[in-house]
Amino acid sequence: MESNDRFDLEHPGEPQPGDLIEIFRPGYQHWALYLGDGYIINVAPVDEGTPAASFSSAKSVFSRKALVKMQLLKDVVGTDSYRINNKYDDKYSPLAVEEIIRRAEFLIGQEVSYDLLGNNCEHFVTLLRYGEAESDQASRAIGAIGFVTAAAGALSFLGLFQHRSSQRP
């Protein structure tokens, strides 16, 4: 096992194999799964051509395909912060660590479909850990889109109603 120097006070806790890692990017969170020895598995845009971790993750918003990569946690985190966040452990039982790692290693290097709302990086790692794909981030975005759509529809309806009322003699 490598030295523990990459997990300092700014990044509390030492992840264990199978842990979910939440990386805080400006405006969103990127998710990875810890494999051990400082390595994680995550999805990255297929057309990734820049070494900047935050920028390459931001490109995934517009990508329809992603590459499953095994990378050093410190390289993926870059200057951002992260935390261990196994937030669904109360909802789902994690698979055995050996099974999580076996499933993860099988996917390394494969191209997978990517969809910000239905198949994103959080869906990917929760499927590995729990056998269930879930993303609170996507659920919040879908809820916000629904609210904005409903509000826009209501405002349009009110505008039409007001327009008709003002045309009546």
Between helix 136-167 and helix 121-130 the angle, nearest 10°, is 140
Rounded to the nearest 5 percent, the helix, strand and coil shares of the chain are 40, 25, 35
Name the DSSP class of 3: -
**DSSP string covering 108-126, please?**
TT-EEE-BTTTB-HHHHHH
Q: Do 63 and 46 form a contact (C-beta atoms < 8 A)?
A: yes
Name the DSSP class of 93: P
Just list the catalytic residues: 30, 121
